[in-house]
A and B are shown apart, each in its own frame.
Chain A
């Protein structure tokens, strides 16, 4: 058999090369050269991001197990940039004495989850998809439990792994029923054989649970706040942006490519999930005092908004989904970046601690403000445009009531985002958090995020580039 066609998987091989180099470096480097581990890792990963960012022709390898379309390059590049920002923000945390020895593991585990997401995105077969899904979620659990001596971290790790395996075993049962009713595992063949018999519908519902869990939509969201609070802040940001971004893209492609025949059956399911996710998450977010829990509920409601793009199932929906993920990545990582800088210095994450932050840390407050404005969808920032495209994608297919409910909910979400901004700028505080100077990599990451929030919305090249390669049924 000719294996040379496998070399076309350049993204995967390049990431694998980075992982292997870092692993060998971590094991064999001496005390002295070990000091350069993080800069080398960051440079290697940045090089990987740059090298793999050019879309290529679509191709299939291994008989359709691995299917590449140009859109995937954009999604993978977005995930790469997000991972790079997270790694920059984690730089200081990994230089602490207690974590110094674990740096190699952190990089290896993070990048292996990313590799799993790559395979999940490019899969053309349920076996490939399932392996990718598990490669993305098992190392994630060890990352969540990264701090071995912290009770909260251990508890979050247990909650994550048990609910993740629970969800994926339901998903696996669904895949087995899909196999039983169609006799194949290839997406292209299933698409024609999946006609919507009752057993197939049950199989679809079982299967979808696994992805809904990863996106943390409302009936499947119960792990989210606890895990987000217990995990280390940088890992939380990775979990909330990268892992979620990959899962929503895969959900869209699967629903359209594989389950396109039963669109009239899955649209009502997504409709209900979107309404419940946005509303419930907003209501719960209002009463959060811990900012990490607050951002957890905010990310659940953002996931609900993403469903508006998926429900349309059109090319416009695809483009607006990828665009939304890009903008959401910049805004959420900016918010988490500020949070992690302050938490690493002072250990404070409560909303009351942020009272009067503007007096001492005007720059950090500014970044936090535009990040929250972007998440809420206020016009000059990118968040407004991404929400606008998503609403128009749903409205184009006639989901006017859904769009109306989502619009009402943006008003509620504006209220709780403004609560944080009010705490930072208006609330008086006798002794606010002292002046925090962030380290150089964290500064770079915050600057990247700020620039992203500012220009991605205004410069239309981003959206147009994405829209060129978007596909639908």
Chain B
């Protein structure tokens, strides 16, 4: 019971957060390479971007508590990620209108 209490009340070590972000990042890369649906590929990329955001915040909070640089970078990165997603979804909708499908296998107009 004591151990559990310690774990619940004590500070979470930085390694735990970094482990989460690293797993998220590589899960994103795996998803990008293995998924066959354009929307799922986009979701995988979002995972990677968010992993980087977690990193910024965690480094700022644990290693450089006096600064704000990491927090601001995370905010900007979230905004940029939103723009990217908006444009990517617009393009994917355009593909759906042209091909009535969002599967990667259908995008084979240009092949050697």
Chain A contacts to B: CB under 8 angstroms: 126-127, 130-131, 134, 138, 141-142, 145, 148-152, 154-159, 161-162, 165-166, 168-170, 172-173, 175-177, 179-180, 183-185, 225-226, 229-230, 287, 293
Contact = CB atoms under 8 A, between A and B. Distances in A.
Nearest to A150: B98
B87 A138 contact: yes
Contact of B32 (A134, A152, A166): A166
B107 A155 contact: yes
B27 interface: no
Contacts of B42: 162
Give the interface centre of A149, A151, A158 by most chain B CB atoms within 10 Å: A158
A130 B32 contact: no
A143 to B, nearest CB: 11
B interface, size bucket: 35 or more
A145 B56 contact: no
Given A131-B80, A151-B109, A230-B109, A157 B94 contact: yes
A159 B94 CA distance: 13
Give the interface centre of B29, B38, B91 by most chain A CB atoms within 10 Å: B91
Contacts, number: 119
A218 to B, nearest CB: 16
A423 B96 CA distance: 39
B52 A161 contact: no
Interface in B75-112: 76-77, 80, 83-84, 87-88, 90-92, 94-95, 98-99, 107, 109-110, 112
B98 A154 contact: yes
A226 B55 contact: no
A131 B80 CA distance: 8
A130 B77 contact: yes
Interface in B31-64: 32, 38, 41-42, 45, 48-49, 51-53, 55-56, 59-60, 63-64
Contacts of B98: 149-151, 154
Given A138-B84, A172-B52, A180-B55, A155 B110 contact: yes
A169 B95 contact: no
A155 B91 CA distance: 9
11 contacts: A131-B76, A138-B84, A141-B88, A149-B98, A151-B99, A151-B109, A155-B110, A158-B38, A162-B38, A166-B32, A177-B55
B67 A183 contact: yes
Contact of A176 (B32, B55, B67): B55
Nearest to A170: B48
B56 A169 contact: no
A148 B28 contact: no
B72 interface: yes
A141 B91 contact: yes
B84 A134 contact: yes
A155 B109 contact: yes
B110 A148 contact: no
Contacts of B28: 169
A113 B77 CA distance: 18
Given A154-B94, A173-B52, A161 B109 contact: no
B73 interface: yes
Contacts of A226: 110
3 nearest A-B residue pairs (beta carbon): A176-B55, A180-B59, A169-B48
A158 B55 contact: no
Contact of A179 (B69, B90, B94, B107): B69
B59 to A, nearest CB: 4
A131 B75 CA distance: 12
Given A155-B109, A162-B41, A176-B56, 11 more contacts: A127-B69, A127-B76, A138-B84, A141-B88, A154-B95, A157-B91, A166-B32, A173-B48, A175-B73, A180-B59, A184-B69
Give the interface centre of B41, B42, B59 by most chain A CB atoms within 10 Å: B59
Contacts of B60: 179
B73 A179 contact: yes
A145 B98 CA distance: 12
Nearest to B33: A166
Contacts of A183: 63-64, 67
B85 to A, nearest CB: 8
B12 to A, nearest CB: 17
A161 B45 CA distance: 11
Nearest to B14: A180
A179 B59 contact: yes
Nearest to B102: A158
B71 to A, nearest CB: 11
Contacts of A127: 69, 72-73, 76
A230 B52 CA distance: 32
A161 B91 contact: yes
A183 B76 CA distance: 18
Nearest to B70: A179
A293 B84 CA distance: 27
